[in-house]
Amino acid sequence: MKEKFKELYQNPMRNLNNVTRYSGVFCMKPENDGYHTIDMMAMCMKIADLIEDEMTSKVNPGDPIFIIDRRDLIYKCYLHDMDESLMGDISRNIKYYNDNIYNAISDVVNDLMSINFSKEIVNDIESSKNKNNECGLIVKVADTLQSSMKIYEECRLGNFHFKRIIEENIIFVRNLKNIVSSSTISDYNPVFISVLLDIITEFEEELGEEIKRLSK
């Protein structure tokens, strides 16, 4: 096998489509990390539009218009789950079972990334998970809400296996509200935070309605 062909062919970053999400749970429409990432990109772009529209409506004539760096946003979105291309999608119940397990998994992931990715890519992957800037926080929100939409869809399709999962997911959505509310970005960009909170609140309400429907 030719050297450069081999490097491109065996590039682990191509593996996202082979990483199945919701492992161990029956899905009406199975999903992999590749689809999750593309769907997140679409969600990130729309969230950016909603934020800019709201901020533009509040700008005084002559004031600078706030613009979200969509290239940075999409790049962060693309990389946010790239560590899973090496280790797969580990269930939350296992990954966050206790601090020892979480730290052990993190150590393995860091070792695998240092072996398979350049230092620059590793730094960019870690940066994609940083919630202390606008693009990073949008990615965090989109990551949680894309999962919420998938779980909601499975429930609407009649998949009773997801009843427990949607009940767990609404807790993650509420935790997300706390993360966004406490963000330091609110100190200098309150409108940005307000739009994100409005979006998250609507998701929380829709999930709550679906949980009520499933409980009847």
What local confidence, expressed as pLDDT, does residue 48 receive?
97
Domain regions of the chain by residue span = 15-57+67-215
| 10-residue averages of pLDDT along the chain (216 residues) | 92 94 93 97 98 88 84 97 93 85 93 95 95 96 98 97 96 96 90 96 98 93
Q: Which pTM value belongs to this model? A: 0.92
Q: Contact 135/72 with Cβ under 8 angstroms?
A: yes
What local confidence, expressed as pLDDT, does residue 61 receive?
75
CATH class belonging to 15-57+67-215: mainly alpha
80, burial (CB in 10 Å: exposed 0-12, middle 13-18, buried 19+): buried
What local confidence, expressed as pLDDT, does residue 90 receive?
87
